[in-house]
Chain A
Amino acid sequence: MYEKITGENAYQVPMRIYPAVHYTMGGTWVDYNLMSTLPGLFVLGEANFSDHGANRLGASALMQGLGDGYFVLPYTIGHYFVSSKQPKPSASHAEFKKAEADIKAFTSRLLSIKGKRTPTSLHRELGKLLWEKCGMARNEAGLKEALKRIPELRAEFWKNVNVTGEGGGLNQSLEYAGRVADFMEFAELLCLDALERRESCGGHFREEFQTPDGEAQRDDQNFAYAAAWEYQGPDKAPVMHKEPLVYEEVHMSTRSYK
Chain B
Amino acid sequence: MNLTLKVWRQKNANTPGRFETYQARNIIPDMSFLEMLDVVNEDILARGEEPIAFDSDCREGICGMCSLVINGAPHGGHRGTASCQNHMRHYKDGDTITIEPWRAKAFPIIKDLVTNRSAFDRIIQAGGFVSVNTGGTPDGNALPVPKTDADLSMDAAACIGCGACVAVCKNASAMLFVAAKISHLNLLPQGKAEKDRRALNMVHQMDQEGFGNCTVTGSCEAVCPKEISLSFIARMNRDYGAAMLKGR
**A88 part of interface (Cβ distance < 8 Å):** no
Per-position binary interface string of chain A over residues 134-165, scored 1 when its CB falls under 8 Å from any chain B CB and 0 otherwise: 00000000000000000000000000001011
**A170 part of interface (Cβ distance < 8 Å):** yes
Evaluate contact between B51 and A164: CB separation under 8 angstroms.
Answer: yes
Chain A residue nearest to B43 in the complex (CB): A118
In the assembled complex, the CB of A227 is this many whole angstroms from the nearest CB of chain B, namely 30
Kindly identify which residue among A6, A118, A169, A170 contacts B42, using a CB–CB cutoff of 8 Å: A118
Per-position binary interface string of chain B over residues 23-67, scored 1 when its CB falls under 8 Å from any chain A CB and 0 otherwise: 000000110100000100010011011110100000001000000
Kindly identify which residue among A6, A70, A164, A170 contacts B30, using a CB–CB cutoff of 8 Å: A6
In the assembled complex, the CB of B52 is this many whole angstroms from the nearest CB of chain A, namely 9
Contact status of A173 and B137, CB under 8 A, knowing A5-B85, A120-B38, A165-B50: no
Kindly identify which residue among A6, A7, A70, A162 contacts B45, using a CB–CB cutoff of 8 Å: A162
Chain B residue nearest to A170 in the complex (CB): B111
Interface size in chain B (residues, C-beta < 8 A)? 23
Evaluate contact between A169 and B85: CB separation under 8 angstroms.
Answer: no
Evaluate contact between A4 and B111: CB separation under 8 angstroms.
Answer: no
Evaluate contact between A172 and B30: CB separation under 8 angstroms.
Answer: no
Interface size in chain A (residues, C-beta < 8 A)? 17
CA distance A5 to B90 in the complex (A): 11
**A71 part of interface (Cβ distance < 8 Å):** yes
Evaluate contact between B45 and A5: CB separation under 8 angstroms.
Answer: no
Evaluate contact between A7 and B110: CB separation under 8 angstroms.
Answer: no
**B7 part of interface (Cβ distance < 8 Å):** no
**B81 part of interface (Cβ distance < 8 Å):** yes
Name the residue among B38, B49, B50 with the largest chain A CB count within 10 angstroms: B50
CA distance A98 to B45 in the complex (A): 32
Identify which of residues 1-18 in chain B touch chain A, using a CB-to-CB cut-off of 8 Å: 11-12
Identify which of residues 161-193 in chain A touch chain B, using a CB-to-CB cut-off of 8 Å: 162, 164-165, 169-170, 172-173
Residues of chain A with a CB closer than 8 A to B38's CB:
120
Identify which of residues 112-152 in chain B touch chain A, using a CB-to-CB cut-off of 8 Å: 114, 137
**B89 part of interface (Cβ distance < 8 Å):** yes
Given contacts A4-B81, A7-B30, 19 further A-B contacts (CB under 8 A): A1-B61, A4-B87, A5-B32, A5-B85, A6-B30, A7-B29, A70-B137, A118-B42, A118-B45, A118-B46, A121-B42, A162-B48, A164-B50, A169-B110, A170-B53, A170-B111, A170-B114, A172-B51, A173-B51
- 6 closest cross-chain pairs (CB), A and B: A170-B111, A118-B45, A164-B50, A165-B50, A172-B53, A170-B110
A residues bordering B, Cβ < 8 Å?
Answer: 1, 4-7, 70-71, 118, 120-121, 162, 164-165, 169-170, 172-173
